[in-house]
């Protein structure tokens, strides 16, 4: 069917449905509840259009079968016809932002900052396709990805969700990810969601949910650029952003959501709010909901109070504050997405082809793609003296708190919203230590570096980095003490606080070049793997020889050892400039090879 013919058929089906819907059914479509606070009976009674899992919100034992059973129950409730109820299939949404990483055993891919360093759209498309299959294997249809933020300040706790500080690179990679996820709306596809609209990566001082101060020209040039190709790729949904633009919150911004996104750019999917995102528009809840709906929010993502949201929408429509035409527009868009995605034509979740293949979750072929992605995301920043590749026969001391910690390797939005620590809850995959141990039998793991001894070790690999975090919990805030003000002093203080997040093992520090140890004895000096959610500056590191990478390598630590031991060369390039104390230490695009 041609695109025009398809559009006409869908429009006819939408109008036919709309004509049969009560106001209650329409308002229910506009509300998305969280699974922990919403039962299948609620879906049936209130006609809810969607349910989501917030980070770490999982059914039963968190296995594919639990997810499919849960989705089946919600779907059946949405399709009930008792008492003349109109069946409209429910759309279930998750944050599969680096693989379907809420689910035990799923393939966890590097976060976007790591994918940005690969600079490889074709790889991203394959990653998205694999992620879509794993999502489908759990009976889910919608992921709140990709994030198209163009992060400008590494203090922002969501920097790792951004591919790059370069809008053009975010645009290339984001569009590829949309194509991979949606798979031309075929049986291998899910619904993608470009987020967060607009200017999430540009807030002052990198404050999460803060204020982006920019002229219209700057906003469009930096932050809108990635949305053009994502819309061309047919992204079906867009999420409004928590941040403000020049003091006005995006959730209530009619010019951004309606005039720009829907009218000027022709976006014909639907806009979903962020988590209770409308609530912050006003202290008066009804006023807040009215502002968001009239600005162009089509579906309200609500944590607990979804009943209140529906009741309030109803009162606002009855009072004429929200025109019925706005409700109809929102519902047309939601039904249009469900129809275009083919949700009406799919059987119940348990009977869908991918849901019958639970082994697709964490499949070997997906893990191989993750390993490739890790390998290609590594960036070599310094290599003097040349110590790479390492010999598999070498006596390697592996140290650092993050050397054997799959949880830290994976970062936020993995199993839990804020991520996890340790190896136990990240099934399969390998920590960096596990990857090294698999190929280097004389390697020794000593997390705190105790006993580092140049006569016993040829080389030391030190893995430092951040603990996992998500959203504002990862912000680095300069907390000015009285009189400290802002500016360089405060920045230095926050830099110091950050450095303490990735402490060097003390005994290794004692053998550092400044104190003698390895270097004096002319041993190949220790290498450092830096694993973090952002590029960050420090006064000392520039003097040290290291290979380094920004980003979270997912859980394929073997991908790191592939490069350490020379199975593959470094191909990653910084997708963010690396700040130094007095300016830029490494520019965006920088990265060495072993040659």
Q: Which positions lie near ligand BGC, rule CB under 6 A?
A: 54-55, 95, 144, 195, 274-275, 471
Picking from 212, 193, 202, the residue whose alpha carbon sits closest to that of residue 165 is 202
Nearer residue to ligand BGC within complex by CB, 55 or 557: 55
Catalytic residue among 166, 298, 466, 471: 471
Catalytic residue among 95, 153, 161, 274: 274
Helix axes 3-20 and 324-341, enclosed angle (nearest 10): 130
CA distances 497 to 97, 107, 152, 594, Å, are 28, 33, 20, 33
Containing 292, the helix (H) or strand (E) segment is helix 285-295
Helix axes 167-182 and 121-136, enclosed angle (nearest 10): 40
Under DSSP, the state recorded for 260 is I
CA distances 364 to 406, 407, 434, Å, are 18, 20, 18
CA 358 – CA 285 distance, rounded (Å): 42
Q: Which residue has the tokens 């279930």?
A: 92
Do residues 281 and 287 make contact, with C-beta atoms less than 8 angstroms apart? yes
219 Cα distance to chain centroid:
22
Q: Nearest distance from residue 482's CB to ligand BGC, in Å?
A: 33
Q: Nearest distance from residue 585's CB to ligand BGC, in Å?
A: 30
Q: Nearest distance from residue 239's CB to ligand BGC, in Å?
A: 6
For the sheet containing 211-212, what is the strand order? 211-212, 244-245, 248-249
Do residues 139 and 352 make contact, with C-beta atoms less than 8 angstroms apart? yes
Nearer residue to ligand BGC within complex by CB, 138 or 571: 138
Nearer residue to ligand BGC within complex by CB, 46 or 144: 144
Nearer residue to ligand BGC within complex by CB, 95 or 120: 95
Q: Nearest distance from residue 491's CB to ligand BGC, in Å?
A: 26
Nearer residue to ligand BGC within complex by CB, 303 or 512: 303
Closest-by-Cβ residue to ligand BGC is: 144
Q: Nearest distance from residue 286's CB to ligand BGC, in Å?
A: 23
Nearer residue to ligand BGC within complex by CB, 195 or 467: 195
Sign of the alpha-carbon torsion through 63, 69, 74, 75? positive
Q: Nearest distance from residue 208's CB to ligand BGC, in Å?
A: 9
Exposed / middle / buried, residue 49 (Cβ in 10 Å: 0-12, 13-18, 19+): buried
Q: Which residues pair with 31 in a beta bridge?
A: 300
448 sits in the region (left: phi over 0; alpha: psi -120 to 50; else beta) called alpha
Q: What length is written for the chain? A: 595
Q: Which residue has the tokens 């499949």?
A: 363
Nearer residue to ligand BGC within complex by CB, 149 or 293: 149
| 279 part of the active site | no
Q: Nearest distance from residue 211's CB to ligand BGC, in Å?
A: 16
Nearer residue to ligand BGC within complex by CB, 416 or 471: 471
| 471 part of the active site | yes
Longest dimension (CA), the chain: 84
3-state secondary structure at position 269: coil
DSSP string across 8-63:
HHHHHHHHHHHHH--HHHHHHHTEEEEGGG--HHHHHHHT--EEE--TT---TTSS
DSSP string across 411-428:
-SSBSBTT---SSTTS-S
Nearer residue to ligand BGC within complex by CB, 419 or 505: 419
Q: Nearest distance from residue 273's CB to ligand BGC, in Å?
A: 10
CA distances 298 to 79, 187, 273, Å, are 21, 26, 8
Q: Nearest distance from residue 242's CB to ligand BGC, in Å?
A: 6
Enzyme catalytic residues:
274, 471
């Amino acid at each position: 069917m041609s695109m025009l013919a398809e559009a006409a058929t869908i429009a006819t089906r939408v109008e036919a449905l709309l004509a049969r819907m009560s106001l209650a059914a329409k308002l229910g479509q506009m509300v998305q509840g969280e699974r922990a606070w919403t039962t299948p009976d609620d879906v049936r009674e209130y006609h809810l259009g969607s349910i989501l899992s917030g980070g770490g919100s999982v059914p039963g034992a968190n296995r594919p079968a639990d997810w499919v059973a849960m989705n089946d129950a919600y779907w059946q409730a949405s399709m009930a016809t008792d008492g003349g109820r109109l069946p409209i299939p429910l759309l279930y949404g998750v944050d599969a932002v680096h693989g379907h990483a809420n689910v035990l055993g799923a393939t966890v891919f590097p976060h976007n900052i790591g994918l940005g360093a690969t600079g490889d759209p074709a790889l991203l498309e394959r990653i998205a396709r694999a992620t879509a299959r794993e999502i489908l294997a759990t009976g889910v249809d919608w992921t709140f990805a990709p994030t198209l933020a163009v992060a400008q300040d590494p203090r922002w706790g969501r920097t790792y969700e951004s591919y790059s500080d370069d809008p053009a690179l975010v645009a290339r990679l984001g569009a590829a990810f949309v194509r991979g996820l949606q798979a031309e709306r075929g049986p291998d596809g899910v619904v993608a969601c470009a987020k967060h609209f607009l200017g999430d990566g540009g807030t002052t001082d990198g404050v999460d949910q803060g204020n982006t101060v920019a002229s219209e020209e700057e906003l469009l040039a930096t932050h809108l650029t990635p949305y053009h190709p994502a819309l061309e790729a047919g992204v079906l949904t867009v999420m409004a952003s928590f941040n403000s633009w020049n003091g006005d919150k995006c959730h209530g911004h009619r010019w951004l959501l309606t005039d720009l996104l829907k009218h000027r750019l022709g976006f014909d999917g639907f806009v979903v709010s962020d988590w209770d995102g409308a609530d912050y528009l006003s202290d008066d809840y009804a006023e807040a909901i009215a502002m968001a709906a009239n600005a162009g929010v089509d579906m309200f993502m609500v944590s607990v109070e979804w009943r209140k949201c529906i009741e309030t929408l109803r009162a606002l429509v009855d009072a004429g504050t929200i025109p019925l035409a706005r409700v109809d527009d929102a519902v047309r868009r939601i039904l249009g997405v469900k129809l275009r995605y083919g949700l009406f034509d799919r059987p119940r979740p348990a009977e869908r082809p991918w849901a019958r293949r639970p082994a697709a979750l964490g499949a070997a072929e997906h893990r191989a793609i993750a390993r490739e992605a890790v390998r290609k995301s590594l960036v070599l920043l310094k290599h003097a003296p040349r110590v790479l590749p390492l010999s598999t026969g070498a006596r390697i001391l592996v140290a650092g708190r993050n050397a054997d910690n799959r949880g830290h390797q994976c970062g936020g939005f993995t199993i839990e919203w804020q991520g996890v620590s340790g190896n136990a809850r990240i099934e399969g995959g390998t920590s960096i230590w596990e990857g090294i141990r698999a190929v280097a039998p004389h390697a020794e793991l000593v997390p705190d570096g105790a006993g580092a001894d140049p006569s016993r070790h040829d080389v030391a690999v030190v893995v430092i980095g951040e603990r996992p975090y998500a959203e504002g919990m990862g912000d680095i805030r300069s907390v000015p003490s009285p009189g400290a003000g802002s500016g360089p002093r405060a920045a230095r203080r926050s830099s110091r606080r950050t450095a303490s997040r990735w402490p060097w093992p003390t005994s290794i520090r004692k053998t550092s070049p400044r104190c003698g140890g390895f270097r004096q004895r002319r041993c190949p000096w220790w290498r450092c793997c830096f694993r973090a959610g952002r590029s960050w500056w420090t006064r000392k590191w520039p003097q040290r020889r290291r290979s380094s990478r920004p980003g979270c390598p997912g859980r394929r630590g073997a991908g790191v050892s592939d490069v350490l031991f020379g199975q593959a060369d470094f191909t990653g390039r910084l997708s963010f400039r690396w700040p130094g104390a007095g300016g830029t230490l490494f520019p965006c695009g920088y990265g060495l090879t072993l040659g």
